[in-house]
Amino acid sequence: MPHKSGSLKGATLRVACILLSLLAYPAAGIAAQCGSGPRGFDAWLQDFKSRAAAHGIKPATVSLALSGVTYDSTVIHLDRSQHSFKLSFQQFYARRVDGALINRGRSLMRTHRATLDRIEKRYGVPGAVIVAIWGLETHYGADASARYSILRSLATLAYDCRRSEFFADQLVDAIRIVARGDLPPSQLRGGWAGEIGQTQFLPTPYVRYAVDFDGNGRRDLVHSVPDILASTANFLASHGWQRGGSWQPGSANYGVIGQWNKAEVYQRTIAAMATQLDGGR
The three-point CA angle 266-82-149 to 5° equals 90
Bridging pattern class, strands 189-190 and 148-149: antiparallel
Give the torsion through C-alpha atoms of 27, 45, 171, 74, to 10 deg: 110
- For helices 59-66 and 150-159, the axis angle rounded to 10 degrees is 100
- How far apart CA 131 and CA 126 sit, in angstroms, is 9
- How far apart CA 188 and CA 76 sit, in angstroms, is 19
Residue 137 is a catalytic residue:
yes
- How far apart CA 98 and CA 196 sit, in angstroms, is 25
- How far apart CA 108 and CA 114 sit, in angstroms, is 11
Instruction: Identify the bridge partners of residue 35 per DSSP, sorted by sequence position.
Output: 160
Answer left, alpha or beta for residue 140, where phi above 0 means left and psi between -120 and 50 means alpha: left
- How far apart CA 210 and CA 227 sit, in angstroms, is 7
Catalytic residue among 137, 165, 195, 264: 137
Query: Is the Cβ–Cβ distance between 169 and 30 less than 8 Å?
Result: yes
If DSSP codes are grouped into helix, strand and coil, which group holds residue 35?
strand
- How far apart CA 92 and CA 89 sit, in angstroms, is 5
- How far apart CA 179 and CA 184 sit, in angstroms, is 9
Instruction: Give the catalytic positions in this structure.
Output: 137
